[in-house]
Amino acid sequence: MPEVLIHMVEGRTPDQKKALLQKTTQAVVESLDVKPEQVTVQIVESKADAKSKGGILFSER
Amino acid sequence: MPEVLIHMVEGRTPDQKKALLQKTTQAVVESLDVKPEQVTVQIVESKADAKSKGGILFSER
Amino acid sequence: MPEVLIHMVEGRTPDQKKALLQKTTQAVVESLDVKPEQVTVQIVESKADAKSKGGILFSER
Amino acid sequence: MPEVLIHMVEGRTPDQKKALLQKTTQAVVESLDVKPEQVTVQIVESKADAKSKGGILFSER
Amino acid sequence: MPEVLIHMVEGRTPDQKKALLQKTTQAVVESLDVKPEQVTVQIVESKADAKSKGGILFSER
Amino acid sequence: MPEVLIHMVEGRTPDQKKALLQKTTQAVVESLDVKPEQVTVQIVESKADAKSKGGILFSER
């Protein structure tokens, strides 16, 4: 605890996702003074045609 | 803000998903009097054998 | 099915929330050709100091 | 109502996922005294390189 | 891992919520053959006027 | 995009929550090379009797 969910479109590289998981864990550890093993982070990815901002699909940007 | 997550089983057509993203954005804009670009909508899809209603898998309906 | 979660800051009026729930349900019904009673919508509200955009808390905007 | 989301890494067998969906439904029915058809359960899976615990990716465990 | 989120309307008794948390944990342990301490369950509650099914608010049912 | 949800028990101080929102935003910006204003973070809090780990409620730890 806590559990972090990061919602985004597919397409990031493995290195970017690894950095995201590790830096987010560190952010939680530093802010809440918890141990790293208490923190889970999951990236919930969707295809670009399954996400929009302002009604514009990420596959059409 | 706000951020909308729509959880459903895989299988809808790209046109259905596009209509869902755009109509949901419009619903939020009209209800909360916010600008479209403030609204993100993400469809979180799962396989039919990873979702159930009443204990019955969508792959067995 | 589907299930919609709308994440936002507290503070909207009951009428705005009712309109949001009903218009979002209608958006899903029209897009996916499902019956209204198949659609659940939940508004997940947080206090203004528990949400940020661009690192700026909604309580400080 | 209620709607259950189970976040985990890909890789479980269809039988394990079926058991998870059915046992979770039963747990909700027994605890809250609701009918099974009121309960939806969705497993939200991510790849092993998109999830971490303690900053360690599940693909590196 | 895994992490379970249960979305529902406010109003259940502490005993019902405790039973829900414990029975859901047991369901996950039995289905996926994981240790109990690997499983977190969080009930995400909303007010009855912030949730609907079929476009009808739970506060108006 | 992306949108981050952090699920945890109530009880943290406003300063801890502010640090959590800001450090998480920074982690996403650095990892994915996006602008801060593209990143929303929402803390989804539950009461201690509405969350468990290993079947033990946070209100009983």
Closest CB to D12: pick one of E5, E32, E51: E32
The predicted pLDDT at position A12 comes to 97
Residues in chain A, overall count: 61
Q: Neighbouring chains of F at 3+ CB pairs within 8 Å?
A: A, B, C, E
Taking the C-alpha atoms of residue D37 and residue F11, their distance in angstroms, rounded to an integer, is: 35
Over residues E53-59, mean pLDDT? 97
Residue A29: pLDDT band (50, 70, 90) is very high
Cβ distance A7 to B45 less than 8 Å, yes or no, reads no
Residues of D in contact with E58 (CB under 8 A): 1
pLDDT averaged over chain C? 97
- Contact residues on chain C for F25, CB-CB shorter than 8 A: 52, 54-55
CATH of domain C3-51: 3.30.429.10
The whole-number pLDDT of residue F1 equals 78
- β-partners of residue A4 are A41, F6
Query: Taking all residues of chain E, what is their mean pLDDT, rounded to a whole number?
Result: 97
E38 touching A, CB under 8 A? no
Name the minimum distance, in Å, from the CA of D58 to any CA of chain A: 10
For residue range D25-37, list pLDDT tens digits in order: 999 999 999 999 9
Q: Is the per-residue pLDDT at E38 higher than 90?
A: yes
Question: CB of A26 within 8 Å of any CB in chain F?
Answer: yes
pLDDT over threshold 90, residue E1: no
Per-residue pLDDT, averaged over C32-39, amounts to 97
Which residues, in sequence order, are CB contacts of B54 under 8 Å at separation 6+?
D25, D35, D36, D37, D38, D39
H/E segment holding residue C14: helix C14-32
Mean pLDDT of chain A: 97
This complex has an ipTM of 0.97
Distance CA(D19)–CA(D32), nearest Å, equals: 20
Contact at CB, D40 and B53, closer than 8 angstroms = yes
Q: Is C44's CB within 8 Å of F40's CB?
A: no
Percentage of chain E exceeding pLDDT 90: 97
Give me the mean pLDDT over the A9-35 stretch. Answer: 98
Give the residue-averaged pLDDT of F37-47: 97
Please report, as a single letter, which amino acid is at residue C36. P
- CA dihedral over A46, A50, A54, A60, signed as positive or negative: positive
Q: Helix, strand, coil % (nearest 5) of chain A? A: 45, 30, 25
- Percent of chain D beyond pLDDT 70? 100
Instruction: Calculate the average pLDDT of chain B.
Output: 97
User: 3-state SS of chain B: helix, strand, coil percent to 5?
Assistant: 45, 30, 25
Residues of C assigned a catalytic role = 2
Q: Is B11 left (phi over 0), alpha (psi -120 to 50) or beta?
A: left
Residues in chain F: 61
Domain boundaries, chain F: 3-60
Give the C-alpha separation, E7 to B24, whole Å. 20
Given a cut of 90, whether residue E15 has pLDDT beyond it is: yes
Half-sphere exposure of A41 (CA within 13 A, CB side): 29
Q: Under 8 Å CB-to-CB from C7, ≥6 apart: which residues?
A: B2, B3, B4, B5, C44, C46, F3, F5, F42, F44
pLDDT of D1 above 90: no
The CATH number for D3-60, chosen from 3.20.20.70, 3.90.1150.10, 3.30.429.10, 3.40.50.720, is 3.30.429.10
* Residues of D carrying an active site annotation: 2
Q: Does F42 touch chain A (CB under 8 A)?
A: no
**Mean pLDDT (whole number) for E31-54:** 97
The SS3 assignment for A44 reads strand
Per-residue pLDDT at E60 exceeds 90: yes
Q: Is B52's Cβ below 8 Å from some Cβ in D?
A: yes
**% of chain C at pLDDT higher than 90:** 97
* B22 lies within 8 A of chain A by CB: yes
Model confidence at A21: pLDDT above 90: yes
* D47 contact partners, CB below 8 Å, separation of at least 6: D9, D10, D59
Can you give the pLDDT at residue A32? 97
pLDDT recorded at residue A11: 96
Question: Hey, which residues does B45 pair with through a beta bridge?
Answer: B8
Phi–psi pair at E30, nearest 5 degrees: -70, -40
What is the percent of chain D where pLDDT is above 90? Answer: 97
Segment A38-50 shows an average pLDDT of 98
Residue with tokens 């969080």: E42
Best probe of the E interface among C10, C16, C44, by most E CBs < 10 A, is C44
State residue A1's pLDDT score: 78
pLDDT at C1: 78
D31 CB within 8 Å of a chain E CB:
yes
Q: Report the alpha-carbon distance of residue F51 to residue A1 in Å, rounded.
A: 10
Instruction: Examine the pLDDT at B1 and tell me if it is beyond 90.
Output: no
Quote the minimal CA–CA distance from F13 to chain A in Å.
Answer: 9
Burial code (b: 16+ CB inside 10 Å, e: under 16) for E14-49 equals eeebbbbbbbbbbbbbebbeeeeebbbbbbbbbbeb
pLDDT at residue number D40:
98
